[in-house]
Amino acid sequence: MTTRRMRRRKGAPFHHSPQAVTRTRENAGLTQADLAEKAGFSIQLMCDIEAGRRNATPEKLRAMAAVLQCQVTDLQPDGGVTQLDDEPPQPLEQRAQ
């Protein structure tokens, strides 16, 4: 049985902040190719995530955070709580800790 991917509605918010992903990756001294390889997905997907063309799934966010040695919340938008599909939202006060 295959799992069907759900498409993000046009204009729907991303699970990640493209700018935060790029900034964190660059601060770690990695190229897009390095991060994609270590996180286990394609370079094209990494480019699309950073360009804001594709949404990073919760699993991809966790993989990137593990490689970058940061919290998943470091890769998410600063403007508020972005709930991952399988996790309850956290208030900003808890995210800052």
CA nearest to 22, candidates 85, 75, 89, 91: 75
Q: pTM higher than 0.75 for the full model?
A: no
Q: b/e for 47-62, b at 16 or more Cβ within 10 A?
A: eebbeeebbbbbebbb
CA nearest to 61, candidates 92, 32, 84: 84
Q: Which homologous superfamily does the CATH classification assign to the domain defined by 14-72?
A: lambda repressor-like DNA-binding domains (1.10.260.40)
pLDDT band at 88 (very low <50, low <70, confident <90, very high): very low
For residue 22, what are its two tokens?
A: 């790029």
Q: List, for residues 11-40, the tens digit of each pLDDT value.
A: 667 788 899 999 999 999 999 999 999 999
Cα 91–Cα 62–Cα 42 angle in degrees, nearest 5: 140
Average pLDDT over the chain reads: 80
**Residue ranges of the domains in the chain?**
14-72
Which helix (DSSP H) or strand (DSSP E) does residue 69 occupy? none
